[in-house]
Structure 1
Amino acid sequence: MADRPEVEISFDRDRIDFEAASRLIRASYWGKRRTEAGNRRAFDNSLCVAAFIDGEQVGFGRVMTDYACFAYLCDVVVWPERRGAGIGKKLVGALLDHPELAGVLAFSLRTTDAQSFYEAFGFEVSNDGMYMRLVR
Structure 2
Amino acid sequence: MIVRVIDDWWGRPVTGLLNRLYLNHFHDTSLIAESRDGELAGFVIGFMSPSRPDEAYIHFTGVAPHMRRSGLARSLYEQFFAMAREEGRTTVKAVTSPHNNRSIRFHKAMGFDCSEPMIGYDGPEQDRVVFARAL
| Same structural fold, with TM-score higher than 0.5 when normalized by the shorter chain | yes
Superposition pairs of residues 44-83 of structure 1, within 5 angstroms? 44-46=24-26, 47-54=29-36, 56=38, 57-66=40-49, 68-83=53-68
CA distance in structure 2 between the aligned counterparts of 1:65 and 1:99, rounded to whole angstroms:
7
Partners of 1:73 and 1:135 in 2: CA distance: 20
Give structure 1 regions of 4+ aligned residues with deviation exceeding 6 angstroms: none
Structure 1, gaps ≥5 residues long: 1-18
Structure 1 residue 86 corresponds to structure 2 residue 71: yes
C-alpha offsets along residues 56-98 of structure 1, whole Å, 9 cap, x if unaligned? Answer: 2311111132363222212111112222211111111111112
Q: Point out where structure 2 has 5 or more consecutive residues left out of the alignment.
A: 125-135
RCO (CA 8 Å, sep 6+): is it higher in 1 or 2? 1
- Residue 127 of structure 2 corresponds to none
Please tell me the residue identity of whatever aligns with 1:50: I
Q: How does 1:112-127 map to 2 (within 5 A)?
A: 112-113=100-101, 114-127=103-116
The count of corresponding residues between Structure 1 and Structure 2 is: 114
Could you tell me which amino acid in structure 1 is paired with residue 16 of structure 2? R
AA of the residue aligned to 2:78: G
RMSD over equivalenced CA pairs, Å: 3.1
Greater helix content: 2
SS in structure 1 at match of 2:42? strand
Under a length normalisation based on structure 1, what TM-score does the superposition of the two structures give? 0.64
What is the rounded CA distance, in whole Å, between the counterparts of 1:61 and 1:31 in structure 2? 18
What secondary structure does 2:30 align onto? strand
**Cα distance in structure 1, aligned partners of 2:33 and 2:54:** 26
TM-score by length of 2: 0.65
